Amino acid sequence: MGLLDGHRAIVTGGASGIGRATCRRFAREGARVGVLDVDGRGAEAVASEVDGVAVTVDVADATAVQGAVDEVAGRLGGLSIVFANAGVGTMAAVGEMTADEWRRITSICLDGVFFTVHAAIPHLLANGDGRVVSTASISGVRPAEGESAYAASKLGVIGLTASLALEYGPVIRANAVSPGMIATALTGPLVDDPVIADRMVAKTPAGRIGEPEDVADVVTFLVSDLARFVTGQNVVVDGGMTLHGSGVDGIYRYFFGRAPGDAP
């Protein structure tokens, strides 16, 4: 028997990285999985791999998210697990960031989590036992220069998750995960640079860059009965990196060759 036998789950950002690894782990543990992603082909590929269903959706579009969640719940016969994981990154100082870029990041990384959870709540309540995990970040706890929009969004996810746990317990348990430096397409520009990668490893007590499976395992634990008394928490999954401060401290200066307040 698997940890998630009989459960029906949706995973946003499920076509790659942490989302894909979590879809695979959920399926191995017995859950039926709906794979949601703006990358429709990628979502279909993962869904075929895990015998799940795929829906193409932009999580920044509230109406589209509602339709996608309802579709998956209908096709799976209900919904008991939500992993609100979709996100994007950027790097710009506050004074250099455009309003459009701010809205792009926050609309996906924060609004997208809200839209996903909001759409899922009726299905989770109808199920009588809902489990939600949202992807925050160590940047929401220990931000670095250039991360204002991303850090603000991820800190917002932590607050939203705590509110969900307060408002809908005991029927719905809700927790967040805050990954550290994980090797995904999003972090490729960092982990593929040997200077940065060596620096990241040196400041991580676990002695390596994280893999998507490292986070997927924690997410699976949180939505399983093993975490039945855990709710409203933000679980940091960073190999100890933030014991030394911000995860990407100094990266802005490395890429731009200056501090944010200096003249370009």
Strands 81-84 and 130-135: parallel
In a domain, 80, yes or no: yes
What type of residue is 43? A
In a domain, 257, yes or no: no
**254 given a catalytic annotation:** no
Beta strand residue intervals within the chain, DSSP E: 8-12, 32-37, 53-56, 81-84, 130-135, 172-179, 234-237
Strands 172-179 and 8-12: unpaired
What type of residue is 165? A
* Per-residue pLDDT tens digits for 206-240: 999 999 999 999 999 999 999 999 999 999 999 99
CA distance 80 to 167: 17
Q: State pTM to two decimals.
A: 0.94
Domain that holds residue 185: 8-245
pLDDT of residue 264: 65
pLDDT of residue 1: 83
In a domain, 252, yes or no: no
CA atoms 67, 69, 155, 14: torsion sign: negative
Enumerate the H helices of 29-111 as residue ranges: 40-50, 62-76, 99-106
**Which token pair is 42?**
């990628």
* Phi, psi dihedrals of residue 159, rounded to the nearest 5°: -65, -40
**Which token pair is 37?**
């992603």
Catalytic residue among 150, 168, 252, 254: 150
Return the CATH number at 74: 3.40.50.720
In a domain, 22, yes or no: yes
CA distance 182 to 87: 14
Confidence band for 251, pLDDT divided at 50, 70 and 90 = confident
In a domain, 115, yes or no: yes
Write the CB contacts of 89 (distance below 8 Å, at least 6 apart in sequence).
105, 150, 186, 187
Average pLDDT over residues 84-90: 93
Number of domains in the chain: 1
**Which token pair is 134?**
């949202």
In a domain, 1, yes or no: no
In a domain, 241, yes or no: yes
pLDDT of residue 245: 80
Which residue, chain included where needed, has tokens 């710009």? 92
**Residue 18 vs residue 264, higher pLDDT:** 18
In a domain, 264, yes or no: no
CA atoms 244, 247, 252, 254: torsion sign: positive
Report the candidate in 151, 69, 162, 146 with the shortest Cα–Cα distance to residue 110: 151
Write the CB contacts of 80 (distance below 8 Å, at least 6 apart in sequence).
7, 8, 9, 124, 127, 129, 130, 131
Confidence band for 196, pLDDT divided at 50, 70 and 90 = confident
On the question of pLDDT at 254 being above 80, the answer is: no
Average pLDDT over residues 161-176: 98
Residue 53 and residue 34 in contact, taking contact as beta carbons nearer than 8 Å: yes
